[in-house]
Amino acid sequence: MVAIGELFPEVEAEAKEHLSGIDFNKTLMQGMLGFLLFAAALHVNLADLKKQRMVIGVLATGGVLMSTVLVGGMTYALMTLMGVHIRPVYCLLFGALISPPSPMSWWSSPSWCRA
């Protein structure tokens, strides 16, 4: 938009006017987020999911635990290097918060990606 605005100022003004009328929070939260988060779930065969529930549960739980420890440990190390004193439990909490389980992303991947 910046480059186009430099070449065509009238287009930039029109785009700004159009975009200023959009409620970003409403558009994201009520319009796009459902599709972004749950698009993979639309293509899941529930019978196959039920057959694989143990594998998916173990992989999701193990992935979250591993990610929690790795992200929490790296956060703690980085904070220590920067001279910020923080308790390790807070770093692990941060790691857990940004480590969502994603068995759906595995399940919805193309069959050639799965073993």
DSSP label of 111:
G
Question: Which of 77, 78, 76, 69 lies closest to 98 in space, CA to CA?
Answer: 69
| Residues 11-69: tens digit of each pLDDT | 888 888 888 888 888 877 777 777 776 776 777 788 888 898 898 888 888 888 998 99
Contacts of residue 60, defined as CB under 8 A and 6 or more positions apart, other chains included, come to: 101, 102, 103
Helices (H), the chain: 2-7, 9-20, 24-26, 33-38, 46-51, 53-81, 88-97, 103-107
pLDDT at 98: 85
pLDDT at 40: 66
Q: Locate 60 and state its tokens.
A: 């999701």
